[in-house]
Amino acid sequence: MARTTVAKKTAPTRTGAKSKSRFQFPLGRTNYFILGLGIFLLVLGYIFMAIPDDPDAFLTRTLSPIILVFAYLVVIPIGLLYREKDRS
């Protein structure tokens, strides 16, 4: 005959989490990659803003602000909020 095991009941904790679980940092490898991409875009945007001698150049007036806004409002928040799907 097969043995059956009976799970022991433990007292519920205040947060509802298991008592043996350890703290896991909420950001993973993918999050760090996306945040690194965002920091790279920020540095690139500021470099583009500083390069031309003419303040009315295309890099300074058009491309640099677009890159900076994209990095601040899209890439960095995605890097902070992205979660990988559970494969359970």
**What's the rounded mean pLDDT across residues 36-45?**
97
Query: Is the dihedral angle over the CA atoms 25, 26, 32, 36 positive or is it negative?
Result: negative
Measured in whole angstroms, how far is the alpha carbon of residue 36 from the centre of its chain? 9
pLDDT at 85 over 70: yes
Q: Quick check: 27 and 36 in contact, CB under 8 A?
A: no
Extents of the domains making up the chain:
32-81
Instruction: Using alpha carbons, select from 30, 44, 23 the residue that is nearest to residue 81.
Output: 30
Query: Is the dihedral angle over the CA atoms 54, 57, 59, 65 positive or is it negative?
Result: positive
Cα radius of gyration rounded to whole Å, the chain: 24
pLDDT at 41 over 70: yes
Q: Quick check: 79 and 37 in contact, CB under 8 A?
A: yes
Half-sphere exposure of 53 (CA within 13 A, CB side): 0
Question: Mean pLDDT, the chain, as a whole number?
Answer: 85
